[in-house]
Amino acid sequence: MLKGKTVLLGVTGSIAAYKTASLASMLVKKGVKVHVLMTKNAAHFINPITFESLTGNKCLVDTFDRNFEFSVEHVALAKQADVVMIAPASANVIGKIAHGIADDMLTTTVMACRCKKILAPAMNTNMYENPILQDNLDICRRYGMEVITPAWGYLACGDTGAGKMPEPEVLYEYILREAGYPGDLAGRRILVTAGPTRESIDPVRYITNHSTGKMGYAIARVAAYRGADVTLVSGPVDLPRPLFVETVLVESAREMFEAVTARSGEQDIIVKAAAVADYRPATVGTEKIKKSDGDLSIALERTDDILGWLGQNRRDGQFLCGFSMETQNMLENSRAKLAKKHIDMIVANNLKVEGAGFGTDTNVVTLITRDSETELPIMAKEEVADCLLTEILKRTKA
């Protein structure tokens, strides 16, 4: 999604500068044109040659360097940039940017840029918590800049607290959201469910399924990248919580029902990708059920039908999308589910198709509505999510 984009990375005097080299490498591998601007103090922590080797572009430090490629270099770079990220951003440079001081190549270029600017503060905890620094960050936010909250942990100075620059993977996601996707879902409220549920048998055992949550998490991430206000209701999964998303963790089908129905009225779009248990034990043992020589039978009862409830209780203009995983008669069963649940779209896939199903990084799906069926080829789940959201957007535009 970032291929062909131009990213300006500003590097200031902080021990965290080494992380920016990894970020630059990551961006270049994605086909991004990366230009690095450093303060003179930053060059004490990392050599400009490092960035020149990684990006293939001259690393700029001196505003008056005569060996440049463009006629007025800071203006030329500013015009090319799709996004600027200053990482690490020192207290000194944050203060300059907040008050319009442009006295080196980095701050001069930032002043000339019209694109989005993202700051990743990195410094001693006491400096970060200083009211002056916080006021300067508020000024930057007021001018439309985004400020990434520092990580908490052990700092190079020996203190422990807020002030660590986040890892390159986190910084990359901020750039991806800003420059890699259109903001066409801005203002939309989207709820996504993901993962399995666990239905307790006793304090030791439970009934569940093979869902890993990857598809639902991909939908939540991409919706957030595209500007939506996203709530993710997730069953138990082994996945990191997505950035830019409010994540609600649940375990059982009943907990997921309560979490979804409590929030459904305020949503514009609901995508129910979770694999919710259809049945749960009628009674849950308070102690571990001991094995015996004979067979064991467990009485099961139906769980709450979340999608059915949503179809019966939707608010005006709300778009509902469900998922259907089948092992046979995929289209027929999915069409029947679409009608029975009174929803707008169902995403159908067959567990037996190579590249689809639980635990994979790809999927093969068919998007089914009352008047159309669109079969997608095998894709990464993020690409499936993007196609799905585009189709939903077409059907929800006023």
> What CA–CA distance (Å, rounded) separates 247 from 233?
6
278 assigned ligand-binding residue: yes
Kindly give the residue spans of alpha helices, DSSP state H, lying in the chain.
17-29, 48-55, 73-80, 91-98, 105-112, 125-129, 131-142, 168-175, 214-225, 253-263, 306-312, 330-341, 381-396
Please list, residue by residue across 301-325, b when 16 or more beta carbons sit within 10 angstroms of its beta carbon and e when fewer do. eebebbbeebbeebeeebbbbbbbb
Catalytic annotation present for 157: yes
DSSP character at residue 275: B
| Active-site pick, 115, 140, 157, 321 | 157
244 assigned ligand-binding residue: no
> What CA–CA distance (Å, rounded) separates 260 from 256?
6
User: Pick from 38, 16, 13, 34: which is nearest to 25 by CA?
Assistant: 34
Token code pair at residue 28: 């270049």
Contact 253, 277 (CB under 8 A): yes
341 assigned ligand-binding residue: yes
Interior CA angle at 245 toward 124 and 146, to 5°? 45
User: How many other β-carbons are positioned within 10 Å of the β-carbon of residue 158?
Assistant: 7
The DSSP code sequence of 323-342 is EEEESSSHHHHHHHHHHHHT
The CA-atom distances, in angstroms, between 230 and each of 187, 227, 310, 332, 383 are 10, 9, 18, 31, 18
288 assigned ligand-binding residue: yes
Query: Which parts are annotated binding residues for CTP?
Result: 278, 288, 323, 337, 341
Please enumerate, by residue number, every residue annotated as part of a binding site.
278, 288, 323, 337, 341
Task: List residues with catalytic annotation.
Answer: 157
